[in-house]
Each structure stands twice: as structure tokens, then as C-alpha cells.
Structure 1
Amino acid sequence: MLDLTVIILTKDEKKHIARCLECVNQFASKVYVIDCFSTDGTQEIARSYRAEVLEHEWPGNQAAQFNWALSNLLITTEWIMRIDADEYLLPELIDELKLKLPSIKKGINGIVFNRRHIFLDKWMKGGIYPVKILRTFRNRHAVCEQRLMDEHIVLTDGDTMDFDNDFCDHNLNNISWFCKKHVDYSIREAAEMLDLEYGISKSNDTVNKLSTQALAKRKKKMAYARKPLFWRSTAYFLYRYFLKGGWRDGKEGFIFTFIQGWWYRTLVDAKIFEIKRKCGDDTEKIKTVLQEEYGIGL
């Protein structure tokens, strides 16, 4: 087994957790499941695959939950991997890990993988593939940045290297679940977009420590935040569907790009529009509405 610990955050992941653990048990020395009091038997399934399960109350976002794990688990391995319960590594990436990880030179403290989105059991080759994301890092050399949305693992020192192969984001829930998830995400995304526009939180950003693609994505998001409401969501859909080739993925590609690339982005803009109607450009009023109506503090 590799000198590597895997951390998985869960809440009612009965549909996915066995598949994920079957994957990581092929290479990880230790697997922790940080559960938030699941009621569907996730914990029992995880223990049956020899994962160590710890319960921890949800602190409000994934970044805080993952950083709690980094601070409180007794991790003795050289490397740590973050993976979600609905994700798994392809066999080619497992082989690449086994081949390369033991000999990575000092100073390389993060590893970037390609992420595939599998939607309705079909690989979304067009639109946004490949998403490059840092998911493995040396112990004590990285944290998860504290953001409402689009949080990334960031290195505290050292450099990253890219691996060639893919892991998959393959959720097995239905489209209603997929839409509800994006409804829940939309107010957090709206709050972050307002923060980008007005600089409300005045928090110290960590963009200098992001991987190359994550940094490029963050810059694009900042540029997107300056574009007109509603126009930008439509332009983004057209860009992903036509210019980036989402149309090549058939009906599944249309549904995926429509929901994630237009409907969701338009819903975010609608919530921003609603908040601005109430508050104008008054940042203190915006902060108050976000806190009192949505429980989001900036």
C-alpha cells in the first residue's frame, strides 16, 4: 500500500460509499470517513470496508469540515488525498499513483488530477473537461481554503505536478436531486459573487497558492462577476455548449450544460438581482440580508 491517507466527508452517502471505498482500498494505507450523523447506514457500510469512521457536526461548509479533519486526525502517512463519496479513481490513475508517488522529489507537495464528470452515466467529454484539481498533497503542507463556493486545496509551500490520468465525479442520484443541490448552492454562489463585486469580506485571498488551472478559473470568475446580470449566464451557456463542444455529448450533454451552465447561473443572478433591489449598493444592507434571510455571514 502507498504511504497515503484518504479522507472522505459524508452525509447519507449509502449509494456511493461502497464504490468509493472499493477504489481507495486498492492503494491507501489508511482511510478516514468523517461523517455528519448519516441516517441511511453510511457509517456501517464504511466500517465494513475497514474505514475508520468519526462523527463530526457540520460546521457550515466542506472546507471547514475538511480542515477539522486535518487538524484532529492522527495522520502519520507522507501523503493525504481528499476524495468525495461520489467519486472514484480510474484504474489508470491508480496505476500512475502506485508508479509515481513513492519517488516524487522533495519540494513537490501537491498532485493535480484530471476530473471527469459522469452525468446520467455518460462521460461529459465536451463543455468543461478536463477539470484539473489538486486532490493529493504532502502531510502538513496544505489546507482547504475557506470559501463559500469553489474552494480548493491550497499548498502552504512547495510546488505541484500534474498526473496524466483521471478520477470521476459520478453521482447516482436523480435529476431532481441534482437540481435541488444547485438551488442550495445558488445563494452561496450569489453571496460570493456579491463579495467579489463589492469586496465585502475584505478577506485575504490565497490565489497565489492555487494550482495553475484553479488560479485561471478564479481569475475567470472574477472577470465573470463584472459582467452584466443575466447576459453573462446566457453567454456562459453558449460558450460551454457550442464553443467547448457540450453539444457533442447528446441529450445528456444538453441537460447537463443547461442545468449547470445556464439555469443555475441564471438562478444565481436572480438572487443577486433580488438582493440588490432590496439593498442597492449598500454593502452593510447586503451583509444584513445575507445573514438574516440566508444565514450567510461575510
Structure 2
Amino acid sequence: MSPLDLTVVLPVRNEERNLGEALKALGKDFAMQSIVVDSNSTDRTVAIAKEHGAEVINFEWDGKFPKKRNWLLRNHTPTTEWVLFLDADEWLTDDFKAEVRAALANTEHVGFWLNYTIYFEGRPLEGGYPLKKLALFRVGAGEYERIDEDRWSQLDMEIHEHPVLDGTTGEIEAKIDHRDLRGLDHWKKKHADYAAWEAHRYLAIKDNSALQSKWSTFQKIKYRLMGTPLLGPVFFFGCLFGMGGWRDGKRGVQWALLKASYFNEISRMVRAEQKQKS
């Protein structure tokens, strides 16, 4: 079976625990090209990428736009028709690859939303908020949302942005396995950085009516609650009961608490900044 007219891009930094498994799951016959965009890793990330036949491109962020994904699209534009952005802790399944192959064979869409199975404590979660990303799209159809920042954080990659595309989008139902092998301590540290970025992002756009008109229903709810103490509790109960997290028993409660603590931290930062300015 010939590879798809597709480039798979994995933006990474110090991902030696995850990257090998992600590239192994990707395989050799799914995409024409695989690119690892590395941010000066100090572990074996680059060596692992090369061992699996991926092209390695180094990226150094200057603290401003563009970050890693948009930088790749602008400066090393894939020569294939399609591009798929994966994180190193996202493993393609056979069902996903088969559905993508069928979808790309005859479509007028310029992009596809992807679904993920979240693994927690080594096992997949049955409930909780679903993870979706618009991460597969035609090269040249658009790029990730432009966010002008001046080192709000040390995060050199677009985090919760989706690409803004010129055209219609579809959805791949088969799921990608989202497995992070680096453990809970790393998850907490990573999400502390994410929380600081989210707080700055909200404060920068909360009065921008043009952007608000493009928010999804989930974003509208999140941003309305962002400056209140209700954000974490609402997410906890929504995750556990509204989205079926209870089906995972103790793990479901623990996952809901972890995510709620993340949103609590965002809310705390936003309210502290607002209080300081008032």
C-alpha cells in the first residue's frame, strides 16, 4: 500500500520517553514524510527521531509570533497535499489510519477534526470531556490562529489554538491514542505552564468582540466563567457527571479533580491580575 500524499509533523522538546512509540505507531507506509521539529532537546529525542527515519528540523523561538507549528508551515512548507500535526504522546491506531486513507481519497473538505482516547494511569478513560483537535488539513488552506505575545510563558508551540482554514471541515471518527509516558508530575508541571498562558490569553482577548464571535460553545462557557471561582467546580461536575466520567470510577474522579485544579489555577491567576489592575 503506497503512502498517502501527507506529511506528519511532530513538534517536540525532550520527548525521549514518548517519541519512539509515536513514530513506531506512525509506521513507514502511512505518510510520504515525517518531520520532527525539535526545540534544542537535551535528551535522546533527536537520535530517536533519526533512528525511525524522520527528518529533524531545529526550532529556536524568539518569544513572538510565529510559534513552532506556524513557523514550520511558513519556513518549511510541506510539499505534500496534506499535513497532520501530532504530539509525541499521540499514537496512531490502525482504525484511524484506515479511516484517514478512505477520507482523503475523495473529499472536498480542507481539514478534519480528530478524536482521541485519553489514557490515565495506563488505561483508557471511558468518560470525561472529549478531546478533539483540528490537526489534519490541506497545505496552504490556512494556519494556526495568530496570537501576538511577548513571552507570556516559555511555551514555544501553539497550545490550544486550532488552525483557521479557508473551506469546510469533516471529522475522523476513529480515535488516536493519547498516552503520555512521562508521568503525573510532568503533567502537573506542563499544565502549570498552560494555566499561565491561558490566563494571559483570556486577559488579552476578553473584550475583543470579533474573536468572541468565533468561539465555540465550550469556549464561550469557559471564558464567561474564567474570572470567577466557578470555573473549576463547573468543569469538575461537568466532567464527572455531564460527560460520564463516573464510568471510570476512582480514576474518573481523580481525572476530573486534576482538570478542575488546572482550571482553578487559571481562574485564580485571572482574578489576581484583575484585582491588581482595579
TM-score range, shorter chain: 0.7 to 0.9
State the partner residue of 1:151.
Answer: 161
State the partner residue of 1:237.
Answer: 236
Task: Assess if the C-alpha contact under 8 Å between 1:17 and 1:86 holds in 2.
Answer: yes
| Structure 2 residue corresponding to 1:172, chosen from 175, 181, 187 | 181
The structure whose residues are more often helix, as a share, is 1
Instruction: Give the distance between the partners of 2:84 and 2:246, measured in 1 at CA.
Output: 33
CA shift at 1:102, angstroms?
Answer: 2.1
Alignment of 1:79-90 (within 5 A): 79-90=82-93
State the partner residue of 2:104.
Answer: 101
Task: Assess if the C-alpha contact under 8 Å between 2:17 and 2:181 holds in 1.
Answer: yes
State the partner residue of 2:151.
Answer: none
Matched, 1:18 2:17: no
After superposition, the Cα gap between the structure-2 partners of 1:206 and 1:222, relative to the gap in structure 1 and judged at 3 Å, is closer
Q: Which amino acid aligns with 1:154?
A: V
CA shift at 1:239, angstroms?
Answer: 1.7
Structure 1, gaps ≥5 residues long: 209-213, 281-298
**Cα deviation code 1:134-191 (max 9, x no counterpart):** 1111110021113475211220x11011122111221111211111111111111112
State the partner residue of 2:154.
Answer: none
Q: Secondary structure at the match of 1:114?
A: strand
CA shift at 1:3, angstroms?
Answer: 0.4
Alignment of 1:131-150 (within 5 A): 131-147=131-147, 150=160
Instruction: Give the distance between the partners of 1:206 and 1:223, measured in 2 at CA.
Output: 11
Task: Assess if the C-alpha contact under 8 Å between 1:149 and 1:189 holds in 2.
Answer: no
Task: Assess if the C-alpha contact under 8 Å between 1:145 and 1:206 holds in 2.
Answer: no
Give the stretch that moved more between structures: 143-152 or 64-73: 143-152
Matched, 1:70 2:73: yes
**Cα deviation code 1:178-232 (max 9, x no counterpart):** 11111111111112232343x2xx5963965xxxxx733333333333xx62123
After superposition, the Cα gap between the structure-2 partners of 1:177 and 1:196, relative to the gap in structure 1 and judged at 3 Å, is same
State the partner residue of 2:246.
Answer: 247
Q: Secondary structure at the match of 2:110?
A: strand
Count of aligned positions = 265
Structure 2, gaps ≥5 residues long: 148-157
What percent of counterpart residues are identical?
Answer: 29
Instruction: Give the distance between the partners of 1:116 and 1:267, measured in 2 at CA.
Output: 25
CA shift at 1:89, angstroms?
Answer: 1.6
Task: Assess if the C-alpha contact under 8 Å between 1:154 and 1:206 holds in 2.
Answer: no
User: So what's the TM-score if we normalise by structure 2?
Assistant: 0.87
Instruction: Give the distance between the partners of 2:66 and 2:98, measured in 1 at CA.
Output: 29
Q: Secondary structure at the match of 1:205?
A: helix
Q: Relative contact order (C-alpha < 8 Å, sep 6+): which is higher?
A: 2
State the partner residue of 2:50.
Answer: 47
Instruction: Give the distance between the partners of 1:134 and 1:238, measured in 2 at CA.
Output: 26
State the partner residue of 2:59.
Answer: 56
After superposition, the Cα gap between the structure-2 partners of 1:206 and 1:46, relative to the gap in structure 1 and judged at 3 Å, is farther
State the partner residue of 1:115.
Answer: 116
CA shift at 1:115, angstroms?
Answer: 1.7
Instruction: Give the distance between the partners of 1:84 and 1:3, measured in 2 at CA.
Output: 20
Instruction: Give the distance between the partners of 1:134 and 1:59, measured in 2 at CA.
Output: 26
Instruction: Give the distance between the partners of 2:30 and 2:159, measured in 1 at CA.
Output: 30
After superposition, the Cα gap between the structure-2 partners of 1:235 and 1:206, relative to the gap in structure 1 and judged at 3 Å, is closer
CA shift at 1:112, angstroms?
Answer: 1.4
State the partner residue of 1:184.
Answer: 193
Q: Which amino acid aligns with 2:224?
A: A
